[in-house]
Structure 1
Amino acid sequence: MPWKEVSVMGERQEFVRLALAEGANRRELCRRFGISADVGYKWLARWQAGDRELADRSRRPHVSPLQSSAAVETEVLAVRDAHPAWGARKIARVLEDRGQHAPAPSTVHAILKRHERIMPPVGGAPATQRFEKEAPNQLWQMDFKGWVRLGDGTPCHPLTMVDDHSRFVPCLAACADQQGVTVRGHLERTFRRYGLPDALFVDNGAPWGEASGERWTRLGVWLLKLGVGLLHSRPYHPQSRGKNERFHRTLKAEIFDFARFSDLAAVQRAFDAWRELYNFERPHAALDLDVPARRYRPSSRPMPEHLPEVIYDEGEVVRTVPSTKAYVSFKGRKWKVPKAFCGERIAIRPLDTDGRYGIFFAALRIAAIDLTTKQSVSDLSEQVSAISPG
């Protein structure tokens, strides 16, 4: 009968003693103990060599020519311990960039698994459809990551900006709130260092949009004056800003999952150090394991010293929107404009249809006038784009 696991060594010792008895039929004993003749003779040889325990021995070979050296394993584990959220491909690329011996990613994965460094994957299935701008600064994705409560009880609202083409992060700020004036301050500092992007891609919440549903904000008007477009994602479709969403998961995995911060200053210090690492050292899977800085260059459009004023052609009908009332007068009637344009100069231009005019801020149409109706307030609410900015 087969040996019982609970008394395996006792069974082996009994077999050997019986097999060593004078006149023993060893092959018959092997059959009765449920083992092969080779196994039976192996136990006899070990017993005669002085092994009285007959315990299981490791089947691991004495020499493993394909196993990584201790030095390589130490290098792999050092990178992993410094960056616990990095996977095998990133670690292998970092070692290669340092000029060190870089094993294959599969080997790195085996080392991490052997040393119990493998963590469950974060997030759901990867996206199967992507868009990417052709050059840096054509589009930056900007958003607030979900707020985090700090040790002193105050909230931290991480403001993130990611260049769509290179994944370079020009700004990562620990903010106390999500107000437009806060965002503008960080944008000004970022624009002065990296120049102006062509457009920013944002969601529809504050400070990018008003709670009332009105599309334009003072922040958006300020960006218009700088020549920076403001593109809004489809409502309830955060996946259209996938790069920013993915960046937020990485930020959580590599910053907030491993530390608790006492105050905003401590978060900002961590952000500054990690942003440097992210841009210049951390391989990015979507860039074929290149780093964002190798694909990024600052914008050729510098931040102006003074905010440009909108200039209209001579002979155009120009009005200044009152600072306290969001309307302009035309043809004896008052016409509504978005309140974000209060205090700004606008132009009224005829459209193709008689009796209909557009209200423009520079080249952008922001409202409409229809003299054929009795209604004196006609606001043109710009519709949210239904597509991603591909």
Structure 2
Amino acid sequence: MSHANAALTPRQRLRLAQKIVDEEWTVAAAADYFRVSWPTAAKWARRYVELGEAGMADRSSRPHAHPNKTPTHRVKKIVHLRIRKRLGPVQIADRVGMPASTVHAVLKRCRLNRLSHVDVKTGEPARRYEHDKPGALIHVDVKKLGNIPDGGGWRYVGRSQGDRNRAVTAKRTGKRGIAGDMVTGTAYVHTVIDDHSRVAYAEIHDDERAETAIGVLQRAVSWFADRGVRVERVLSDNGPAYRSHAWRRVCAELAITPKRTRPYRPQTNGKIERFHRTMADGWAYVKHYNSESARRAALPAWLHFYNHHRPHTAIGKLPPISRISNNLPGQYS
């Protein structure tokens, strides 16, 4: 398409060329009539003779040859160092003897300019997937958080005061660790994420046993069903609860296919791992809670905000609930 200030549009070029070729105007007369230079008028007339009406379209300004293009063997070397060594442009440039700006340009063309595009474990370009409808796959996992002692934890009150608060709370609750020392205990946040919509469901419990995980799954499936989503598959890690016979039996009763990640490959369950980071930043550690009960009471409100109001960058900066088709305006807000 011609630019906004072009003297000749494709239609005007055709008219100019026809005046010269078909109506036998002189090039000078046509150039004066259409207010363009003599060489421009001659160019479009020549293209009209050679290509006809199709020759009036814009051509690419890309050069036919690239004498300064980075050689293929250099590109392969840059990509190899990026994937295998995870080096930055400056370090790669030093090894291959090229400017860092050129290395960065090569990495950008190869979509390797950001390390987030490269798998941390294998160094291979990251493979991303997304199921095509809500309920096709849900991810489940457990996030462990240390209980907040009465008066607040060390993140907000400092180490010394935090240790005193923990000791007082541990003495009140009577909880002890494996070594017999007084502890405040652990909150096990059982989380469920829909792969397509990123809608989240979560419950806090005091353990991660199979019966607890099964109860969370049953309630999550019912919760999704209330929103018109039928769960078909569930993906988990290789924790004891998810490897149990009881887990498989309940999945069969719910008509859900259980799947597990490859051992030592949390990236496969990356969506829920990323959700845990969002949850930690947005709820667990976002402010000073003066007790564990206060933090637990704040979880439902934050989940509502995450599902209904928080823009999610992975789905076009829309809230996750917008991907569930039967969510009528105001139905769950």
Range class of TM-score, shorter chain: 0.3 to 0.5
- What's the TM-score once normalised by structure 1's chain length? 0.41
Return the TM-score normalized by structure 2: 0.47
Larger Rg: 1
Higher helix fraction (1 or 2): 2
The structure where strand makes up a greater share of residues is 1
